[in-house]
Structure 1
Amino acid sequence: MAQDISFSVRNNNGDPVQVGAWRFGGDGSGPMVHLQAGVHADEIAGMLVLHLLMQRLLVVEAEGRLKGSVTVVPQANPLGIGQFRQGRILGRFHDATGHNFNRAFDQSAAMEQPSTNVQEWQKSLVQLASTAQVMLDLHTDDEALPYLYVHRSFWPRARELAAAMKMDVAIIWDDGGDGSFEETIIAPWLRDGVTAQRMAATLELRGQGDVSDRLAEQDAAGLYAWLCSCGVIDEALSPGDWPVEVMEMGQMETILAPQPGVLIFEKELGDFVEEGQRFARILRRPGDPSSEVVLVAEQAGRMVTRYRDRLVSQGMVVAKFTGSRISRNWSGGLLDPN
């Protein structure tokens, strides 16, 4: 029977809210694993995936086939999950402070006494995962192909994870500097040089609207097979093969909206475009043809993500593409700075 290790943090009113967490105990012969979803509270897909995976873990735990312990936090962010405005959840940023929920975990974890409820929540979540040897953080993009963020230290070993999850792209990064959860967890591993027997990654499970039983069952099965392959579950399952395009972070091409307006995509997710080829246009003033701006690809590559809404403000990320050379807009750091 899984152990309930839920904990409480304060909401904006100072009242306690619970972070649901469960630990499935193994026999100690496998790695310690931490799985979580919903750090950005409006990224829902992973919550259903972990909900389904937990049902499988209950079975293997009862049958004595669980070798490693697995901590599961299927809805990690109770502060953001209630932030509804005009019928839409706004779960990327803390409403009261503007704090991106997946930034500055490192600063919060280092505080002896956190001064805000976001910092308190972040410190508690890091402490829960601090003993894990394997950490997977489940996210989604706006509209996207499934893709993987992984530090160079864990590549090419992470290819098996990407294949298990049927992820089309793996983005390799070296330096973050934003204090994301993943970066905060692996920082002591990198410092101490103990990455060989460990694994951490951020899994982008398509787009925010891609929540269904079919997709969640596929992803839960992929996670289960991968846990078997890395010695967490005693079962002879192989993740199989899948064509994964490997990209250096700096080669990802991000296109921003040069003006506000109605966004019309002319290419679909996964489509390949040549350098200079048009893929979308923005109509600033409907009725005025001269207000239309055509967007073209900076270099040849595939469309990996695109903006979900069809009315865009100036400066918003319209789309991201793979590339074959370092982007001229690349200055280091994050793919998504905000």
Structure 2
Amino acid sequence: MAQDISFNVRGNNGEDLRVGAWRFDGAGNGPKVHVQAGVHADEIAGMLVLHLLMPRLRQAESEGRLKGSVTLVPQANPLGIGQFRQGRILGRFHDATGQNFNRSFDQSQALRRPATNVQHWQKSLVELAATADLVLDLHTDDEALPYVYVHRAFWPRGRALAAALKMDLAIIWDEGGDGSFEETLIAPWLRDGDTAQRFAATLELRGQADVSDRLAGQDADGLYAWLCSVGVIDEVRPLAQWPVQAVEMGHMETILAPRPGVLVFEKELGDFVEEGQRFARILGRPGDASSEVILHAAQAGRMVTRYRDRLIAQGSVVAKFTGSRVSRNWAGGLLDPN
């Protein structure tokens, strides 16, 4: 039976907060897997995916078909999950400190005695995943196509995972520098050259509003098929043939809002645009035609993400596109620096 390995972390007022975690242990020598969702607490889709995956793992375990071990953390961030403000959850940043929940994991790991409750929580998550061979971190974007972040060391092996989840896009990265969970976990693997039997990826499961039984069931099916393909579950589940476009991180074009105002998209997610083609406009002062700003594509590519709200602040990310050359705005690091 699945083992409940839940643990407590400190809340903002020193109270204990529970992180639910379960481990399914198999009878063979298959890989150890760690899958978590909700590090950014307002990214809900992965929580439902893992909820639907659990009964299937429980059945595989009870029937003796589980050859590896799988640890699931369906709602990884109890600090952020309670941060409701005026009816909306604000789960990307820690209220008390302003820290992005998926940054600076490397700093918390360097501390024997974490100084803050966020560091204590981060250290606990990394320690839970540290012995795994395969690690998946489930996130969502604002509004987005499903896509996968994967370090170059794990490509093209990551193509099978992307295809299993019917993800059209894989973003390949080399350097992060901000201490995300994935980056921190794989750092010793990269340092020691120990990547041949290991794998890690961050999965972006569409947008924050894309939470449904249909989509979550499709993603749970994909994860289950992938677990079969890597020897965790003794079951033949052919992976779907699916076209996956691999794009270098530096080739992604991120378009920022040049002014605040009402955001009107003229292109949909997945649409292809030519260089210089208009895809959106911002009405700075509705009623004043001179306040309208037209937004154009920086290079040819597909719209992968777009801003969820339709009133945007200056400097916010309007949209991200694939590209075929290095973006003139590329300065290294993560796709989303904050």
For this structure pair, what is the TM-score category when the shorter chain's length is used for normalisation?
A: over 0.9
Secondary structure of the residue that 2:186 maps to in structure 1? helix
Task: State how far apart, in whole Å, the 2-side matches of 1:181 and 1:272 are.
Answer: 32
Superposition deviation, residue 28 in structure 1: 3.7
Q: Does the residue aligned with 2:299 lie in a helix, a strand or coil?
A: coil
For residue 168 of structure 1, report the CA deviation from its aligned partner: 1.1
Match of 2:150 in 1: 150
Runs of 4+ in 1 over 3 A off after TM superposition: none
1:1-338 → structure 2 map (5 Å cutoff): 1-338=1-338
Provide the C-alpha distance between the structure 2 equivalents of 1:69 and 1:32, rounded to a whole number of angstroms.
Answer: 5
Paired with 1:335 and 1:183, the residues of 2 have a C-alpha distance of 13
Query: Secondary structure at the residue paired with 1:127?
Result: helix
Shift of residue 148, structure 1, vs aligned partner: 0.4
How far residue 241 of structure 1 moved from its aligned partner, in angstroms, is: 1.2
Give the C-alpha shift of residue 310 in structure 1: 0.1
For 2:207, the aligned partner's letter is G
Q: Distance in 2 between matches of 1:186 and 1:288?
A: 52
What CA distance in whole angstroms lies between the structure 1 residues aligned with 2:283 and 2:239?
Answer: 45
Query: Hey, what's the Cα distance between the residues in 2 that align with 1:335 and 1:236?
Result: 36
Which secondary structure state, in structure 1, belongs to the residue aligned with residue 162 of structure 2? Answer: helix
Paired letter, 1:241: Q
SS of aligned partner of 1:319: strand
Give the counterpart letter for 1:100 in structure 2. Answer: N
Letter of the 2:303 counterpart = M
Paired residue type of 1:188: P
C-alpha distance in structure 1 between counterparts of 2:181 and 2:101, whole Å: 9
Please give the root-mean-square deviation of Cα atoms over the aligned residues, in Å.
0.5
* Unaligned 5+ runs, structure 1: none
Normalising by structure 1, report the TM-score.
1.00
For residues 256-315 of structure 1, give each alpha carbon's deviation from its aligned partner in whole angstroms, at most 9, with x where no partner exists.
000000000000000000000000000000110000000000000000000000000000
Q: CA deviation at 1:110?
A: 1.5
Tell me how far apart the structure 1 counterparts of residues 237 and 142 of structure 2 sit (CA, whole Å): 32
Percent identity (aligned): 80
Q: Which amino acid aligns with 2:117?
A: N
How far residue 317 of structure 1 moved from its aligned partner, in angstroms, is 0.2
Deviation at 1:9, TM superposition (A): 0.5
Which SS does the other structure have where 2:153 is aligned?
Answer: helix
Q: Distance in 1 between matches of 2:82 and 2:239?
A: 36
Separation of aligned partners in 2, 1:17 and 1:228: 34
How many Å separate the matches in 2 of 1:198 and 1:167? 21
